[in-house]
Amino acid sequence: MTKTVFSLIVAFVCTSCSSQNLQGVLNQANQVLNSGGTGLSNDEVISGLKQALEVGAQKSVDFAGKDGGFWNDARIKIPFPPEAEKVKTTLTGIGMTKQVEDFERTMNKAAETAVKEAVPVFVDAIKGMSVQDGFAILKGEENAATTFLRQRTGDVLSGKFRPIVEKATDQVALTSYWTPLANGYNSAAMFTGGKAVDPDLNAYVTAKAIDGLFTLIAEQEMKIRKDPLARTTDLLKRVFGQP
83: exposed, middle or buried (C-beta count within 10 Å: 0-12, 13-18, 19+)?
A: middle
**Domain coordinates in residue numbering, the chain:** 3-239
Contact (CB, 8 A) for 81 and 198: yes
pLDDT at 196: 76
Residue 128 has pLDDT above 80, yes or no: yes
Average confidence (pLDDT) over 205-234: 75
pLDDT at 229: 47
Average confidence (pLDDT) over 77-101: 80
Average confidence (pLDDT) over 156-171: 90
Cα angle value 118/121/122 (rounded, 5°): 85
More confident residue, 149 or 25: 149
Separate counts of helices (H) and strands (E) for the chain: 11, 0
Average confidence (pLDDT) over 76-99: 81
pLDDT at 71: 96
Residue 124 has pLDDT above 90, yes or no: yes
More confident residue, 197 or 30: 197
**CB neighbour burial string for 20-53, b if at least 16 within 10 angstroms, e if fewer:** ebbebbeebbeebeeeeebebeeeebbbbbbbbb
pLDDT at 224: 62
Contact (CB, 8 A) for 161 and 115: yes
**pTM for the model:** 0.72
pLDDT at 213: 95
Average confidence (pLDDT) over 117-135: 90
Residue 29 has pLDDT above 50, yes or no: no
pLDDT, averaged across the chain: 75
pLDDT at 33: 37
Average confidence (pLDDT) over 121-128: 92
Most confident of 26-30, 150-154, 239-243: 150-154
